[in-house]
Chains A and B, each alone.
Chain A
Amino acid sequence: MRRRKILVVDDSALLHRMYDFMLSGHELIHAADGVEALERIAADADIEVVFLDINMPRLDGLEVLRRIKADPKTRALPVIMVSTHGEEHDTKRAMAAGADGYVKKPFRQDAIAQLIGTLTVGLTLRAAE
């Protein structure tokens, strides 16, 4: 699989280590909360996929998603919501708000690898048009 630039957003340090391991073939950018996530997206137009934790302090995932999809410059950026058990309602709202997919903790390496593959095919096709 081609090396991608992926933004991972979660307030848990453990998750960031796990992302490093699971996505070791890619270039990872780490954000510990929603505010930092938006800053990174604004500063780097080359980010290709975002993994976004739904429930975070300061600015939660749903709000970050809305801002990404509301901005024409970032609307096409694929965003995968990351939820835990019990957040089914929030996940539905995120999908209705334009999220491109979701995974639920615990998620496996092969599941997110597959997601990245599917999503970025879409990007490649769009870029070729």
Chain B
Amino acid sequence: MSVDDAARFLPYFLDETGPLVDGLGLAMVALEARWTAGERDAAGEQRALGDVHTIKGNGAMMGYEPIQQVAHALEDLLEAGDLGAGGLLVRGADLLQALMQGCDGGALETAPAAAYAAAVAARLSRATETVSLSRPLRLSPVGKAADTIRVPFQRLDELTALAASAADGDGTAARHLHRTLLELRHVSLAGLFDRFGRHVRELARLLGQPIRLEISGGDATLDKAIADRLGEPLLHVVRNAAAHGVEPPADRLAAGKPAEATIAITAEPVGSRVLVTVSDDGRGLDVAAIIARARRLGVDTAELPSHELPLLVFLPGLSTAAQVTPLAGRGVGLDVVATSIGALGGTVGVVTTPGQGARFWFDLPRTLGREAPTRAPLFAGLDSRMMP
């Protein structure tokens, strides 16, 4: 079929393939969540495979090779079931989305598709390498191609000059070098926050509850090692807000709130630290229930000032969810969130107003320091005396 003929079919292609690609975006977000939690989803994977296959065939017939390439890589990922590769599923779905828009405009970029296919191939060959018993396992990771950071060339230039003068044995240059290297490791939170938009949309759909996500401060930067490990605890808090914090639309309207709930994520640099906040306009924490549970666990709550009582929610065993749902992390409590943030050298906190909502925050260092991360106290006001 010549290019002219393909153009004749473009409306049909967009009509059939567009919704498939849209649906795939949501499905891959949900599947990534399952895979990250260590679970397969056979039915969901089969459905996704069918859709990806159709996208691949349609793209091929239209002569859109990048679409065929990305869809083929997604098929490989879905079939391999490498649970650590969930992020690549979402990336592939996003790339298909972008390529579909390119079709409409008449120009398809080939480089991103080729790069994605290469990343998937690298990931899958690494996966089979560690699983296969017939080949000796390598002790060092093979080509961490996906774990890269982009560096402005000017910074590299500065580094080279610094390294040269550091060799002269002057302590100042070495300190400069160290500081510059530390800053090179910084990434912005924008990528992480962007993913949350899709997560929240999928959560809202699964819950049948309209939720709007507001994000600000995505350009705040912090060490990549911290940013990488911030995602899980942050996602857990966001899921909690959606699954437990937000009331049904009817209750919200009765309380004079808009039917659509709002969850806001912000990041605010404060000197050498960054404050990441998740707030919602839902029903707020049930502080009385939290106190009661804490007492049953043997915590002496009488000595706590009232504004610190909600912090009890971070103690192990304090989950007050009536049922553990897949959305709220299946029993992984806020204590794990607190431990994770503590391990990064940060602290956690929460305030709540009954009927109006709750605000969780993480106070994190922006740069990895030399001191070992602390375990206790994780949060102001509660110390180890009060741990059960």
Which residues of B does A touch, CB under 8 Å? 1, 5, 8-9, 12-13, 15-17, 50, 53-54, 56-58, 60-63, 68, 72, 75
Determine if B72 and A15 form an interchain contact, defined as CB atoms under 8 angstroms apart.
no
Q: Are A105 and B9 in contact (CB under 8 A)?
A: no
Contact of A15 among B8, B50, B57 (CB under 8 A): B57
**Identity of the chain B residue whose Cβ is nearest the Cβ of A16 in the assembled complex:** B12
What are 27 A-B contacts with C-beta separation under 8 Å?
A: A10-B57, A11-B50, A12-B54, A12-B57, A12-B58, A13-B12, A13-B15, A14-B12, A14-B13, A14-B17, A14-B58, A15-B57, A17-B12, A21-B5, A21-B9, A53-B57, A84-B53, A84-B68, A85-B56, A85-B68, A86-B75, A105-B57, A106-B1, A106-B60, A106-B63, A108-B1, A109-B1
Chain A 16-30 near chain B by CB (<8 Å), digits 1 or 0: 011001100000000
> Are A12 and B50 neighbours in the complex by a CB distance under 8 Å?
no
Indicate the member of A14, A18, A57, A85 with the most B CB atoms within 10 Å: A14
Contacts of B56 in A (CB 8 A): 84-85
Closest to B47 in A: A57
Given contact pairs A12-B54, A14-B12, A84-B56, enumerate 16 new A-B contacts (beta carbons under 8 Å): A10-B57, A11-B54, A12-B16, A15-B57, A17-B9, A18-B1, A21-B5, A22-B1, A55-B53, A57-B50, A84-B60, A85-B60, A85-B72, A106-B61, A106-B62, A109-B1
Residue of A nearest to B5 (CB): A21
* CA gap between A109 and B292 in the complex, in Å: 74
Q: How far is the CA of A18 from the CA of B13 in the complex (A)?
A: 10
A104 to chain B, nearest CB (A): 8
Q: Which 8 A-B pairs have the closest CB atoms?
A: A105-B60, A106-B60, A84-B57, A14-B58, A13-B16, A106-B61, A14-B16, A17-B12
| A122, B258: Cα distance in complex, Å | 71
CB distance from A129 to the nearest CB of B (A): 37
Complexed CA–CA distance, A12 and B50 (Å)? 11
Chain B residues positioned under 8 Å from A18 (CB to CB) = 1, 9, 61
Closest B residue to A55 by CB, please name it.
B53
Neighbouring A residues of B54 by C-beta, 8 Å: 11-12
Cα(A14)–Cα(B103), bound, Å:
15
Q: How far is the CA of A107 from the CA of B13 in the complex (A)?
A: 16
In the bound complex, residues from chain B placing their C-beta under 8 Å from that of A21 are 5, 8-9
Residue of B nearest to A87 (CB): B53
* Cα–Cα distance between A96 and B5 once the two chains are bound (Å): 34
The answer on a CB contact under 8 Å between A105 and B1 is no
Q: Which residue of A lies closest to B1 (CB)?
A: A108
**Residues of chain A within 8 A of B9, CB atoms compared:** 14, 17-18, 21
B61: A residues at CB distance < 8 A: 14-15, 18, 105-107
Which of B54, B62, B63, B68 counts the most chain A CB atoms within 10 A? B54
CB neighbours (8 Å) of B63 from chain A are: 106
What's the least CB distance linking A92 to chain B, in Å?
A: 18
In the bound complex, residues from chain A placing their C-beta under 8 Å from that of B53 are 55, 84
- Determine the chain A residues whose CB is within 8 A of the CB of B1 once the complex forms: 18, 22, 106, 108-109
Q: Are A86 and B60 in contact (CB under 8 A)?
A: no
Within 8 A of B (CB), among A71-97: 84-86
Report A-chain residues with C-beta under 8 Å of the C-beta of B57: 10, 12, 15, 53, 84, 105
Q: Which residues of B contact A12 (CB under 8 A)?
A: 16, 54, 57-58
Q: Which residues of B contact A57 (CB under 8 A)?
A: 50
Distance in angstroms from B69 CB to nearest chain A CB is 9
Which of A12, A13, A57, A108 neighbours the largest number of chain B CB atoms within 10 Å of its CB? A12
- A57–B48 Cα distance when bound, in Å, is 12
For B64, the closest partner residue in chain A by CB is A106
| A residues 32-48 in Cβ contact with B at 8 Å | none
Q: How far is the CB of B18 from chain A (nearest CB, A)?
A: 11
Question: Min CB distance, B77 to chain A, in Å?
Answer: 13
Closest to A82 in B: B57
In the assembled complex, which residues on chain B have CB atoms less than 8 Å from the CB atom of A86?
72, 75
Which A residue sits closest to B13, measured CB to CB? A14
Q: Closest residue of chain A to B60, judged by CB?
A: A105
Which positions 45-72 of chain A face chain B at CB distance < 8 Å?
53, 55, 57
The distance from the CB of B42 to the nearest CB of chain A, in whole angstroms, is 14
B296 to chain A, nearest CB (A): 52
Whole-angstrom CA separation of A21 from B13 in the bound complex: 14
Distance between B59 CB and nearest chain A CB, rounded to angstroms = 9
A2 CA to B311 CA, complexed, in Å: 81
Q: In this complex, what residue of B is CB-closest to A104?
A: B60
Which chain B positions have C-beta within 8 A of A17? 9, 12
Instruction: State the CA gap A21–B56 with chains docked (Å).
Output: 20
